[in-house]
């Protein structure tokens, strides 16, 4: 009986197979650390007199709290500053490599790992952050963990885990112009729901996925958690190998050949079976936006705000009513007529160079609407430097957008980049939860193309609306 990609990677990391109800003990190849979910874990190590087992498999960056302007100054918010300072002290004490604010490699943890070549096929990658699923785009098992698990990995480089079930998400067909991987994943979440993936590792398959760049694949895997799945994966192929080759931490010489030979084996066998399969027709997809307060509440941009009465299930109906009340929306309003105050381009979902290029292409020679503010926040300082070398920063600032330094920024508003109560955003980030981008803020999740077009028109729009 054949095995799925997820099962192959799992089996290759078994330190110990669990007996009966006992979980398996799984080895962790890479542990990514940031300032928010680590201080209590470092404290736990200290209290128990334990060491960090593998600092050489651990890397830290400052991302959640960091301001995206005046980054050369001390952080103004004393509580944020304390958290960042605590990370610096902890990394120094336990010997962890850290990319702090001001460093050329600082950025969002899920942008930093891949661009350094630290994320490779067939690995196990964890971080105290649910969007760790991003790294599954390389064919690794990558998932978010809580702080107790962060401490566990620090102390043992392993995690006790029950095997996941497997779900194939088959995406076939050709994406129309203006339709992106963000639209694909929003459509997947709308189809299976925010709880549909619970207990599963998703494997995205099919010719649509195969045709995607690595960055597009990362966007898809990033939002697996929004469908309830801890992890999403894509089988590695030449696109993957081309992306990794030559990066700082990529294998070199004979090691490269040995690695690629192994990586080519990381495909779901033809006779393997998934616990569940879902099919998505890529030909039929159009730009997708969310209207509610969870990422499953999304629709094609051409649709209207739904009527809660049309939801069959009572829970879905109540959830829709609450969502529309929070979002300040009336059933039947065309989504294209929803006016936004803010456009946020960035985050671990859509803060990479291709995302910035796509948005800049739309904004070139155009202006952000006078009553809209647009924040462009690169996912890392390396992305920022790359964008500047291509002149993208000039395109953004000429259009009237703000060009910022790297960090999580308005995706979750732990730094000063927040929505005010009642303000509405079109955001390329991953969560439209109540208050996510600032207390009382209202979020519509969109692709970078929709974000840019929306900035120009001031209402939710796709680039085709600009012609």
Partner 1 sequence: MEPFTSHTGVGVPLRRSNVDTDQIIPAVYLKRVTRTGFEDGLFAAWRADDSFILNQEPFRGGSVLVAGPDFGTGSSREHAVWALMDYGFRVVLSSRFADIFRGNAGKQGLVAAQCEQSDIELLWKLLENEPGTEVTVDLTAKTVRAKDFSAAFQIDDYTRWRLLEGLDDIGLTLRNVDAIGEFEGRRPTWLPTTNPVTAG
Where in 190-249 is the site for partner 1 (CB under 8 A)?
194-195, 198-199, 225-226, 228, 230, 248-249
Distance CA 221, CA 183 (A): 13
Q: Measured from the CB of residue 366, what is the shortest distance to partner 1 in angstroms?
A: 33
Of residues 5, 8, 10, 27, which one binds partner 1 by CB under 8 A? 27
Residue 145 interacting with partner 1 (CB under 8 A):
yes
Instruction: Scan residues 88-117 and list those touching partner 1 (CB under 8 A).
Output: 97, 117
Residue 251 interacting with partner 1 (CB under 8 A):
yes
SS (H, E, C) the chain: CCCCHHHHHHHCCEEECCCCCCCEEEECCEEEECCCCCHHHHHHHHHHCCCCCCHHHEEEECCCCCCCCCCCCCCCCHHHHHHHHHHHHHHHHHCCEEECCCCCCCECHHHHHHHCCCCCCCCEEEECCHHHHHHHHHCCEEEECCHHHHHHHHHHCEEEECCCEEEEEEEECCCCCCCCHHHHHHHHHHHHCCCCCCCEEEEEECHHHHCCCHHHHHHHHHHHHHHCCCEEECCCCHHHHHHHCCCCCCCCCHHHHHHHHHHCCCCCCCCCCCCEEEEEEHHHCCCEEECCCCCCCEEECCCECCCHHHCCCHHHHHHHHHHHHHHCCCCCCEHHHCECCEEEEEHHHHCCHHHHHHHHHHHCCCCCCCCCEEEEECCEHHHHHHHHHCCHHHHHHHHCCEECCCCCHHHCCCCCCCCCCCCEEEECCCCCCCCCCCCCCEEEECCHHHHHHHHHHCECCCHHHHC
Determine if residue 127 is labeled as part of a ligand binding site: no
Residue 433 interacting with partner 1 (CB under 8 A):
yes
Minimum CB distance to partner 1 smaller for 227 or for 401:
227
Minimum CB distance to partner 1 smaller for 171 or for 323:
323
Determine if residue 408 is labeled as part of a ligand binding site: yes
Residue 29 interacting with partner 1 (CB under 8 A):
yes
Instruction: Scan residues 334-353 and list those touching partner 1 (CB under 8 A).
Output: none
Residue 57 interacting with partner 1 (CB under 8 A):
yes
Q: Which of 82, 131, 334 is nearest to 232 (CA)?
A: 131
Of residues 379, 407, 413, 458, which one binds partner 1 by CB under 8 A? 413
Of residues 8, 352, 382, 431, which one binds partner 1 by CB under 8 A? 431
Of residues 5, 6, 9, 30, which one binds partner 1 by CB under 8 A? 30
Residue 315 interacting with partner 1 (CB under 8 A):
yes
CB 230 within 8 A of CB 129: no
Q: How many residues bind partner 1 (CB under 8 A)?
A: 88
- Show the binding pattern over residues 259-298: x = contacts partner 1 (CB under 8 A), - = does not: x--x------------------------------xx----
Of residues 11, 46, 56, 273, which one binds partner 1 by CB under 8 A? 56
Determine if residue 348 is labeled as part of a ligand binding site: yes
- Show the binding pattern over residues 113-142: x = contacts partner 1 (CB under 8 A), - = does not: ----xx-x--x----xxx-x----------
Instruction: Scan residues 436-455 and list those touching partner 1 (CB under 8 A).
Output: 436, 439-440
Of residues 146, 246, 334, 391, which one binds partner 1 by CB under 8 A? 146
CA–CA distances in Å: residue 30 to residues 42, 226, 332, 434 = 17, 23, 48, 32
Minimum CB distance to partner 1 smaller for 60 or for 216:
60
Of residues 3, 86, 304, 307, which one binds partner 1 by CB under 8 A? 86
Residue 9 interacting with partner 1 (CB under 8 A):
no
Of residues 22, 238, 242, 310, which one binds partner 1 by CB under 8 A? 22
Minimum CB distance to partner 1 smaller for 306 or for 463:
306
Distance CA 86, CA 47 (A): 16
Q: Measured from the CB of residue 31, what is the shortest distance to partner 1 in angstroms?
A: 9
- Show the binding pattern over residues 151-170: x = contacts partner 1 (CB under 8 A), - = does not: xx--xxxx-x-x--------
Residue 82 interacting with partner 1 (CB under 8 A):
yes
| Positions at the binding site | 348, 408, 411
| Positions at the binding site for [4Fe-4S] cluster | 348, 408, 411
């Amino acid at each position: 009986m054949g095995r799925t990609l997820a099962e192959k990677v799992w089996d290759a990391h078994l330190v110990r197979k669990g007996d009966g109800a006992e979980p398996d003990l799984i080895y962790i190849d890479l542990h990514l650390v940031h300032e928010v979910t680590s201080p209590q874990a470092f404290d736990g190590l200290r209290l128990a007199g334990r060491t960090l087992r593998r600092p050489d498999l651990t890397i830290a960056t400052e991302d959640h709290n960091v301001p995206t302007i005046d980054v050369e100054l001390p952080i103004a918010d004393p509580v944020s500053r304390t958290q960042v300072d605590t990370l610096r002290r902890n990394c120094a004490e336990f010997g962890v490599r850290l990319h702090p604010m001001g460093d050329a490699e600082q950025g969002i943890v899920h942008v930093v790992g891949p661009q350094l070549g630290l994320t490779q096929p067939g690995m196990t990658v964890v971080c105290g952050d649910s969007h760790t699923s991003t790294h599954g785009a390389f064919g690794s098992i990558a998932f978010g963990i809580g702080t107790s698990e962060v401490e566990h990995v620090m102390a043992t480089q392993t995690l006790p885990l029950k095997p996941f079930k497997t779900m194939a998400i088959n995406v076939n067909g050709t994406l129309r112009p203006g339709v992106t991987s963000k639209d694909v994943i929003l459509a997947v979440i709308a189809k299976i729901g925010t709880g549909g993936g619970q207990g599963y590792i998703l494997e995205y398959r099919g010719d649509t996925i195969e045709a995607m760049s690595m960055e597009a694949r990362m966007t898809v895997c990033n939002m697996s958690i929004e469908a309830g799945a801890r992890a999403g994966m894509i089988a590695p192929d030449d696109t993957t190998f081309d992306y990794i080759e030559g990066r700082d931490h990529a294998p070199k010489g004979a090691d490269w050949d040995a690695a690629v030979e192994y990586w080519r084996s990381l495909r779901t066998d033809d006779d393997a079976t998934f616990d569940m399969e879902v099919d998505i027709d890529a030909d039929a997809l159009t730009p997708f936006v969310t209207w509610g307060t969870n990422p499953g509440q999304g629709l094609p941009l051409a649709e209207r705000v739904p009527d809660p009465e049309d939801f069959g299930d009572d829970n879905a109906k109540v959830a829709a009513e609450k969502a529309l009340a929070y979002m300040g929306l009336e059933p039947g309003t065309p989504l294209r007529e929803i006016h936004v105050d803010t456009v946020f381009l960035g985050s671990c979902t859509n803060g990479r160079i291709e995302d910035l290029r796509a948005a800049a292409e739309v904004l070139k020679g155009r202006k952000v609407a006078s009553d809209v503010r647009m924040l462009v926040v690169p996912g890392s300082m390396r992305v920022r430097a790359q964008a500047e070398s291509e002149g993208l920063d000039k395109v953004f600032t000429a259009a009237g957008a703000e060009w910022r330094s790297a960090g999580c920024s308005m995706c979750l508003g732990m730094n000063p980049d927040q929505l005010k109560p009642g303000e509405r955003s079109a955001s390329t980030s991953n969560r439209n939860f109540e208050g996510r981008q600032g207390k009382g803020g209202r979020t519509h999740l969109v692709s970078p193309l929709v974000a840019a077009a929306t900035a120009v028109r001031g209402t939710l729009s796709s680039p085709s609306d600009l012609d």
